[in-house]
Amino acid sequence: MNKPKVLVTYRIPREGLRMLDDLAEVIYPENERFTVEELHTLVEEIEAAITVFGIPFPDELLEKSGSLRIISNYGAGVDNINVELATQKGIVVTNTPDPVTIPTAELTIGLMIALMRRVAECHYKLHSEKGLKWGVMENLGRGLNDKVLGIIGMGRIGKATAVRARALGMDIVYHNRHRLDEKMERELDTTWMPLPGLLQTADVISLHTPLTKQTHHLINREAFDRMKPGVFLVNTSRGPVVDEKELVRNLENGKVAGAALDVYENEPHIPEALLKMVQVVLVPHIGTATVETREEISRAAAENLLVFFRGGKPRNTVNPEVFNKD
């Protein structure tokens, strides 16, 4: 019996894929990724694909794939896949939300501290400028203790961020499409607010929403207009959740005191205006970039395929309705 073929579209840690060796034939890129032309050839003969967050899996490949049965996405967000089209074609789509939670929350807190305490700014100036002023009234930042943190998107990462921020003495309010139950709110010591109220209340806003049609440019001109003067913004979710042009405008006019970004509207492009601002902390989409996490995500992506090929329903299926199709 021929083994099912699994296409890994982009290089990821191979160790986590070893569990597939006995069950499947893994097609792994020799270079960083397969070219579009190679993908068009390979997609006709595969039953499964492992795709990577932020790297689009084009619609034409979904349309062309005759034998593709499941896509296991390496990462929590699945905005790189047309899930609606995959569902129409009966293709299962899974993700790997569990391994990404803690490292992304850690980065969020790290960015918050680097931004508000001006760590990144002072680091840059010490390395690049002579005569940086030292003194009692120099390089003053803002403390996190007693500040109101507004979390938009209280899923796994939002909750993990809330726990860590609370330990630093921050007061937590949140907005989520579905409100948490009272028990969870008590455990997290947090209060739900409608989005307009959160924007008007928070000293720091941290974004943790998936990218959907509804959340695209969720933080737009109207949202910025509602924010408190001197607010800080942290985004470790998806770049297009924020209208970058409006972010730049509000940084330039001082409405937003500073921003810390791990994600951007058109990655890997970063607007020149943001690159020039000392009150902006920028990192290259490293929310899950630890050795341990990237290997764990590989294992989780492979585990989704193992469960499927053994006749089960992967726990992290994002379109479970596929299993109800005739």
> Per the structure, how many domains does the chain have?
2
pLDDT-derived band at 2 (thresholds 50, 70, 90) equals: confident
The pLDDT assigned to 326 comes to 59
* 114 and 79 co-located in one domain: no
Bond before 56 cis per omega within 30 degrees: no
* 49 and 111 co-located in one domain: no
* 59 and 193 co-located in one domain: no
Owning domain of residue 20: 5-95+291-324
pLDDT-derived band at 203 (thresholds 50, 70, 90) equals: very high
* 87 and 215 co-located in one domain: no
The first and second tokens of residue 287, run together, are 């929310």
* 148 and 230 co-located in one domain: yes
pLDDT-derived band at 37 (thresholds 50, 70, 90) equals: very high
The pLDDT assigned to 130 comes to 77
* 112 and 90 co-located in one domain: no
Residue 135 class from Cβ within 10 Å (0-12 exposed, 13-18 middle, 19+ buried)? Answer: exposed
Least confident of 13-17, 111-115, 141-145, 306-310: 13-17
The residue-averaged pLDDT of 197-226 equals 98
The pLDDT assigned to 1 comes to 63
Cβ proximity of 306 and 16 under 8 Å: no
Separation between Cα atoms, residue 146 and residue 167, nearest integer Å: 11
How open is the CA angle 136-140-144, to the nearest 5 degrees?
A: 125
* 232 and 139 co-located in one domain: yes
Catalytic machinery residues = 238, 267, 285
Dihedral class, residue 169 (left if φ above 0, else alpha if ψ from -120 to 50, else beta): left
- CATH code: domain of residue 69: 3.40.50.720
* 44 and 183 co-located in one domain: no
